[in-house]
């Protein structure tokens, strides 16, 4: 056998596959049978987030949780023709009809409870109790879904991920539920707040509305008014803005030479409870508060609470909510003074890890745009009296009028989509046509004759125009690659480039976003004003129309820096080819001719080395 073939058969990947094949479990030696005798796999496989399963996988998992033994023949297949609907093929017209039912049914959903346990239980007994309770919770959700006749969004089905939540709730004195400011009602889980109080009556809840920099002051006030009417303790926060302030502060420290001897970047330390006491006593400037929102006068107290808090103000709120723990003087298990533990919980990709890094003052937790980056809960000590507990992202059970919302809100990974027409159509209905054209610089097809002039563009129109403008074509076909274009547009929507904020239930959606959309369009038009000029065109019947014509590159005005660089370059009087920072025009040609001729090379020419040496001498 050749060395190459031997290397191909002895690789690590082939060895692992052979080992898995030999150790694969079979039922009575027959590989054509299903069975509940399944191994959970390694630890990293157990912690994978599972939000959706096929029918067979779901059946096997439920049977394993129920500890039921069975075998079934694989070849015994019966095809049942039914009304099958893809997860992302729901009717977009149902959104208004089912929105009220979704809000009413949201309080009926629950999170799985950890059963009561004692230290005298064995590990196997506790595991059996937790699996039984988790299975009963799964059955209750299925019963609610059948009763309400409404779609339930995919939720976390892995018990190992829920166990991370149970541990965080048990440890925490203050549980912070982080939600996305563009849709707080979808990301908030009311039953989680009830579960925290069931575990400990002294525990506190806090709703942290992250990414609040994407909302206008009027939009933040509308949500503050709604959350306050529900009796919810909330705070508006932006991890992105806070990180920019930290980076500026760290850069100032580095320039001042305050980095340590190991050349590590300095850290912005977390303030203690004594340091944040002065923050809560900052006087309120009434002139900076919002006076009116959506045609109604504002409440000064709510207007102040609707501001985006700073990092120190957030620490002050943590210390205020946990003041009972800090002043009790109780000792922890290690005999030291008990720390205030703040747990961070929320959906994937809402900014839990980003918030943790901001609170730490430097990167301590891995951050990624793809949902599900954090796998285990992590504890980080910020100060002698404060500890942060970061929980992995959890998709809580909820009812939604449209399952496309999970994609557009960044809960489900966009790169794993197989069908993107429905989510893109939802984006087309929420973002105005003019705003899409202004952001991407494309021209969408106009409505045909007989269609409403203000109708929203279709997903096919947007994806086709965007793909052609960006050059996204399929290989071998030459057609527009609509799937690639859809992934770019949906990621821009999740990132906030195509901004749509969901309103509170008391305000209509278009009214809630009209002001922000118009401001964005006006800002984009002002930025691109130098690219166009007004021209008056006269038609054959003598009618004059004012049109915008794109300027040529020579007609476009230059900024001051660009104009100064061009002026300095073209103002040079002595421009020519140079060698060794000297102009060849200044070389004495007679000096070159007087040089000693070099050794003849091929065809009687001088050697290249001799030529280069003579030229270097001439320039010096």
Residue whose C-alpha is closest to residue 247's, from 335, 311, 202, 176: 311
Contacts of 413 (CB under 8 A, 6+ apart): 370, 371, 372
Positions of E strands within 486-583: 532-538, 544-550, 578-579, 582-583
The pLDDT of residue 424: 94
- The alpha carbon of residue 27 and the mean position of all alpha carbons in its chain are separated, in whole angstroms, by 44
The pLDDT of residue 457: 92
Mark whether 267 and 334 lie in a shared domain.
yes
Mark whether 423 and 520 lie in a shared domain.
yes
Instruction: From 356, 390, 424, give the residue that closes a domain.
Output: 390
Distance CA 329, CA 325 (A): 7
- Three-state secondary structure along 411-467? CCCHHHCCCCHHHHHHHHHHCCHHHHHHHHCCCCCCCCCCCCCCCCCCHHHHHHHHH
The pLDDT of residue 620: 54
Distance CA 379, CA 93 (A): 45
Mark whether 186 and 334 lie in a shared domain.
yes
Residue 482 lies in a domain: yes
The pLDDT of residue 31: 44
Residue 619 exposure: Cα atoms within 13 Å on the Cβ side: 15
Q: How many domains does the chain have?
A: 3
Mark whether 299 and 353 lie in a shared domain.
yes
pLDDT tens string 433-481:
999 998 998 889 888 888 888 889 999 999 999 999 999 998 877 789 9
The pLDDT of residue 449: 84
Segments in the chain below pLDDT 50: 24-41, 44-45, 81-92, 97, 259-263, 281, 368-373, 584-596, 598-602
Residue 73 lies in a domain: no
pLDDT tens string 537-565:
776 677 776 665 656 555 556 566 667 77
The range of the structural domain enclosing residue 385 comes to: 162-390
Residue 374 lies in a domain: yes
Mark whether 334 and 293 lie in a shared domain.
yes
Mark whether 377 and 494 lie in a shared domain.
no
Instruction: From 390, 421, 447, give the residue that closes a domain.
Output: 390
pLDDT tens string 142-173:
777 776 656 677 788 888 889 989 999 999 99
Residue whose C-alpha is closest to residue 60's, from 79, 43, 84, 37: 37
Residue 366 lies in a domain: yes
Mark whether 206 and 257 lie in a shared domain.
yes
Positions of E strands within 85-152: none
Mark whether 425 and 336 lie in a shared domain.
no
Q: Are 221 and 229 in contact (CB under 8 A)?
A: no
Mark whether 431 and 379 lie in a shared domain.
no
Q: Are 373 and 155 in contact (CB under 8 A)?
A: no
pTM of the model: 0.70
Mark whether 476 and 601 lie in a shared domain.
no
Residue 166 lies in a domain: yes
Residue 537 lies in a domain: no
- Three-state secondary structure along 259-285? CCCCCCCCCCCCCCHHHHCCHHHCCCC
CATH code at position 301: 3.40.50.300
Mark whether 347 and 257 lie in a shared domain.
yes
**Cα–Cα distances in Å, from 91 out to 87, 310, 531, 554, 555?**
11, 42, 41, 50, 49
Residue 550 lies in a domain: no
Instruction: From 531, 565, 587, give the residue that closes a domain.
Output: 531
The pLDDT of residue 474: 87
The pLDDT of residue 298: 80
The pLDDT of residue 344: 93
Mark whether 200 and 325 lie in a shared domain.
yes
Residue 76 lies in a domain: no
């Amino acid at each position: 056998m050749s060395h190459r073939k031997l290397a191909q058969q002895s690789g690590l990947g082939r060895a692992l596959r052979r080992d898995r094949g030999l150790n694969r479990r079979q039922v009575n030696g027959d590989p054509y049978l299903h069975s509940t005798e399944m191994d959970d796999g390694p630890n990293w496989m157990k912690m994978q987030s599972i939000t959706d399963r096929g029918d067979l996988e779901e059946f096997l998992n439920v049977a394993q949780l129920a500890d039921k033994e069975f075998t079934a023949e694989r070849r015994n297949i019966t095809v049942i023709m039914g009304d099958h609907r893809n997860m992302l093929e729901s009717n977009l017209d149902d959104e208004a009809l089912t929105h009220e039912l979704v809000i009413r049914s949201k309080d009926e959903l629950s999170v799985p409870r950890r059963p009561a346990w004692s230290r005298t239980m064995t590990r196997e007994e506790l595991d059996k109790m937790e699996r039984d309770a988790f299975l009963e919770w799964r059955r209750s959700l299925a019963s609610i879904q059948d009763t309400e006749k409404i779609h339930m969004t995919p939720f976390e089905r892995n018990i190992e991920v829920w166990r991370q939540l149970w541990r965080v709730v048990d440890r925490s004195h203050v549980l912070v539920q982080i939600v996305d400011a563009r849709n707080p009602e979808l990301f908030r889980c009311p039953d989680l707040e009830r579960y925290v109080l069931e575990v400990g009556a002294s525990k506190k809840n806090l709703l942290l509305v992250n990414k609040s920099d994407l909302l206008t002051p009027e939009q933040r006030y509308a949500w503050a008014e709604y959350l306050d009417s529900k009796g919810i303790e909330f705070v508006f926060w932006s991890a992105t803005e806070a990180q920019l302030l930290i980076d500026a502060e760290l850069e100032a420290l580095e320039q001042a030479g305050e980095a340590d001897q190991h050349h590590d970047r300095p850290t912005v330390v977390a303030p203690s409870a004594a340091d944040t006491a002065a923050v809560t006593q900052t006087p309120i400037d009434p002139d900076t508060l919002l006076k009116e929102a959506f045609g109604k006068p504002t409440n000064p107290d709510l207007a102040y609470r609707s501001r985006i808090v700073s990092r120190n103000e957030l620490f002050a709120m943590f210390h205020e909510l946990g003041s009972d723990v800090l002043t009790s003087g109780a000792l922890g298990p290690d005999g030291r003074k008990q720390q205030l533990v703040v747990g961070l919980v929320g959906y994937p990709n809402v900014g839990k890890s980003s918030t943790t890094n901001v609170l730490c003052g430097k990167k301590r937790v891995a951050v990624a745009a793809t949902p599900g980056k954090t796998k285990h809960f992590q504890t980080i000590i910020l100060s002698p009296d404060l500890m942060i507990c970061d929980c992995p992202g959890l998709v809580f059970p909820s009812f939604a009028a449209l399952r496309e919302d999970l994609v557009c809100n960044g809960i489900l990974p966009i790169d794993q989509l197989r069908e993107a027409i429905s989510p893109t159509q939802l984006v087309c209905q929420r973002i105005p046509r003019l705003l899409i054209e202004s952001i991407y610089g494309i021209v969408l097809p106009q409505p045909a004759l007989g269609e409403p002039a203000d109708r929203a563009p279709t997903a096919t129109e947007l994806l086709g125009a965007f793909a052609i403008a960006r050059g996204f074509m399929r290989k071998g076909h030459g057609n527009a690659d609509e799937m690639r274009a859809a992934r770019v547009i949906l990621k821009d929507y999740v990132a906030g480039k195509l901004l749509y904020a969901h309103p509170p239930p008391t305000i209509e959606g278009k009214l809630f976003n009209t002001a922000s959309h118009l401001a964005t369009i006006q800002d984009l038009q002002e930025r691109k004003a130098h690219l166009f000029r007004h021209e008056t065109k006269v038609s054959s019947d003598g009618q004059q129309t004012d049109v915008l014509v794109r300027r040529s590159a020579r007609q476009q005005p230059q900024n001051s820096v660009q104009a100064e660089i061009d002026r300095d370059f073209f103002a040079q009087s002595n421009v020519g080819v140079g060698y060794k920072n000297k102009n060849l025009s200044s070389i004495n040609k007679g000096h070159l001719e007087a040089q000693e001729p070099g050794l003849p090379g091929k065809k009687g020419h001088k050697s290249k080395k001799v030529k280069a040496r003579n030229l270097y001498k001439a320039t010096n």
